[in-house]
Structure formats: C-alpha cells, structure tokens
Amino acid sequence: MSRSASLTLQRRLTRPVKVGSVVVGGDAPISVQSMTNTDTRDIASTAGQIAELAEAGADLVRVSCPDKEAAQCVAQLVKGSPVPLIADIHFDHKLALMALDGGIDCLRINPGNIGSRQRVAEVVQAASLRRVPIRIGVNAGSLDKDLLAKYGEPCADAMVESGLHHIRILEDLNYQEIKISLKASSVAMTVEAYRKLAKQVDYPLHLGITEAGGMIPGSVKSAIGLGLLLSEGIGDTLRVSLSANPVEEVRVGFEILKTLGLRTRGVNIISCPTCSRQEFAVIDVVAQLEKRLAHIRESVNLSIIGCIVNGPGEAKECHVGLVGGGGENLLYINGKPQQKIADNKVISRLVEEVELAAKKIREQQEIENSTKNH
C-alpha cells in the first residue's frame, strides 16, 4: 500500500549533530520543527503549546528568550518537554549562558552578533561542555551593514558570506557542532543561498522560508522552496514559518516530507475536488475525518472519492477507501470492496477502519523491529 516513491536525489552528506535525543544530519530522518508563539515567561501556556506541537509530530521545538525572565524559564520548560528544545537568542550572550544552565538542547544564536570574541568563547565553552549544538540563523532581513554596503541589497551571496563568517568564528574556537540556516522571504533567494552554501560546507542545514505569510501563501512558498532543495538532497531539518497556529507549521512540514517520500506520518487522505456527480458530501466528510483522525501516527492511505469515475481505482491502492454510491457508498479495505454504507454511518465506520489499519501497521512494525533486534 505504498503510494509514494522518493522524488529526491541522493541526500547530501552532512556531519550529524545531536539536539538532545534527536540527530540532525547524517542519515537521520529529516526533522520537523516549529516555534512557540506564546510569551515564554508564561510557563503554563508555553509548556502547553510545546506539548501540542509534539503531539502534532514536531521533533524539535524552539522557544524565544528575549530577556532574562524568559531565559530563566528554560529549566522548567525543558523539564516538562516531551521533545528537545532550542533557545532562540539574539545579541545578549548572557541569555545564552542562562539557557545552557537551564539545560537547553540547542542554541539558535549568531556568534557575530553577540559582541567580543571573549563573549563568544564563553558561550562556546559552555555549549561544548554540555554537548549542545549551535544553529547559526542568517536572515536576509537582518544582514550586517557591511555586507549590505558590499552587495547593495540582500542577496544569496551576501547570505552565504554572512553564514560563512559566523561559521568561521565558531571554527576558530574549534567548535563544529553547528547547524545553519539561510532564510529569506524570497523563495528564489533562499533556494540559491542554500544551494551555494551546500557546496561549501558539510554542516547540517536547517531549511525555511522566512516570513512566508499566512496559511495558504506560506504553505505554497514553503512547499516550493523547501521542496526544490529537498528534492536535490539538500536539507536536514526544516521549519515552515506561517502567520498561523504553529501546529499548522508542523502539519505542513510533514506534508512536504510525505509528498517527497522522505517521511511518513499519519493518514494520507486522497480525495476528489467534487463535482455534480458526487454521491455524498465529500468536502464535509474529509473535513470531519481530518479532525477525527489527527491522532493517527501510522502511515495509512485513505481514499474518499465522490463517485465511480475515479473511486474504485483510487480505493484499490489504499488501506481504506470509500466510493460514493447514492446513499449506498462502497467501502473498500485493502483494495477490495467490502460492503455498502449509508451516508450517516460513513464517518464512524471510516474512523473505525482507519484505526484498525493503523493498529495492524503498528503491530507489523513491532514484529519487524523485534526481528531486527535479535
């Protein structure tokens, strides 16, 4: 029942780093991350959102530490978090030291922006002692003045030069636990920058299109930009930036990886756009199923098709399928027609069948894992 072949070229070889329990780079799965948008100082709300993001599948979560109070909350947030946390820090090296003291799993900080070499060395030493990697995050909107003067305006070459400058500062301190991102709101500039940097260093790359906009434009820009890079084998972790609930960022991130055949997670719903031939309310059924099946982690293919034009063909390729049939819709299991279902029973029956399919996949995976371990 595998519907997706990989669309990607061979993955670029990178030096893996460990963010808590999650490996980024090397041959580790491409991780999906997001960032909380609560006030970090409000521990209950922030911990709640971290849990929601983890539940949605986020492998890593970033929290911003804009001031001392926020950095002081790191210890408690780390303690209660189901996934490794990354502290986002700008300018103030003391905040980085506080986050490290609090047990943070990774820092996002640009070493060239925190002042003297002595300050950078302090952070690097503390990070090194705790084996905590640093993500250099270059953003086209905040390039150094000298680079803007040299290039005239933000561009891919300026971003790459900025990234290499920050990398050199860390390498000079003999520190190589590095990830790097080069984000712009322009998809073309972002893609060019990553392609250029990928040829020059072997550090893992964190992909993202910054300030990508709301749900639809942000998802499209991210899918195209990240999709182009991932299809070329570039990228080790990603964040989709949306002006939306960050849980949506995780969902879109996984959809990008699922579409490229790079990761699997959750139910893959194949549904038709509907037309006057539809025999049941496809759009409404799909919307309800998306909510009712959000808890499924296993990769289950489910087709929901309005009529017999395309219904049987899609259902044959899925774990579970439904083909519209005028109040008597035909249910398929593992590609075979099973029985007719009335419109008012469609949702409950499909949820039941998908949960069953997920359980079987889980059991099969457990058998395979125990065989591998023997």
Which listed residue (54, 309, 333, 347) binds ligand SF4 by CB under 6 A? Answer: 309
Paired tokens of 292: 């009712």
Does the protein bind ligand SF4 through residue 317 (CB under 6 A)?
A: no
CA distance 158 to 342: 61
Phi/psi zone of residue 211: left (φ > 0), alpha (ψ -120 to 50 degrees), beta?
Answer: left
Q: How many residues bind ligand SF4 (CB under 6 A)?
A: 11
Asked if 96 and 118 count as a contact pair (C-beta separation under 8 A), the reply is: no
Query: Residues 333, 339: contact at Cβ < 8 Å?
Result: no
23 touches ligand SF4 by CB under 6 A = no
By the rule CB under 6 A, 306 interacts with ligand SF4:
yes
Among the listed ranges 138-146, 161-169, 172-180, 300-308, the one in contact with ligand SF4 (CB under 6 A) is 300-308
286 near ligand SF4, rule: CB under 6 A: no
Based on the shown chain and the rule CB under 6 A, indicate whether residue 321 belongs to the binding site for ligand SF4: no
Joined tokens for residue 332:
């398929």
Helix count (H) and strand count (E) of the chain? 13, 15
- Per CB under 6 A, does 4 bind ligand SF4? no
- Choice between 102 and 324, CB closer to ligand SF4: 324
CA distance 293 to 302: 11
Nearer to ligand SF4, 72 or 278 (CB): 278
Are the beta carbons of 177 and 134 closer than 8 angstroms? Answer: yes
> 3-state DSSP call for residue 225?
helix
Q: What's the one-letter identity of residue 317?
A: E
3-state secondary structure of 360: helix
Figure out which of the listed residues 305, 322, 346, 361 binds ligand SF4, where binding follows CB under 6 A. 305
Nearer to ligand SF4, 224 or 283 (CB): 283
Judged by CB under 6 A, does residue 272 bind ligand SF4?
A: yes
Q: How far is CA 13 from the centre of its chain?
A: 20
Binder among 176, 274, 288, 334 for ligand SF4 (CB under 6 A): 274
Closest-approach residue to ligand SF4 (CB): 306
Q: Is 281 an interacting residue with respect to ligand SF4 (CB under 6 A)?
A: no
Helix, strand, coil % in the chain, rounded to nearest 5: 45, 20, 40
If one asks whether residue 269 binds ligand SF4 (CB under 6 A), the answer comes out as: no
310 binding ligand SF4? (CB under 6 A): yes
**Cα–Cα distance between 337 and 200 in angstroms, integer?**
54
Taking CB under 6 A as the binding criterion, the range among 30-38, 49-57, 207-215, 268-276 that sits at the site for ligand SF4 is 268-276
* Region of 84-92, 187-195, 233-241, 273-281 interacting with ligand SF4 (CB under 6 A): 273-281
> Would you say 307 or 322 has its CB closer to ligand SF4?
307
Report which of 30, 1, 15, 17 is spatially closest to residue 235, judged by C-alpha positions.
Answer: 30
Least Å from the CB of residue 294 to ligand SF4: 24
**Among 20-28, 48-56, 303-311, 333-341, which window interacts with ligand SF4 (CB under 6 A)?**
303-311
Other residues' Cβ atoms within 10 Å of the Cβ of residue 126: 18
Binding residues vs ligand SF4 (CB under 6 A): 272-275, 277-278, 305-307, 309-310
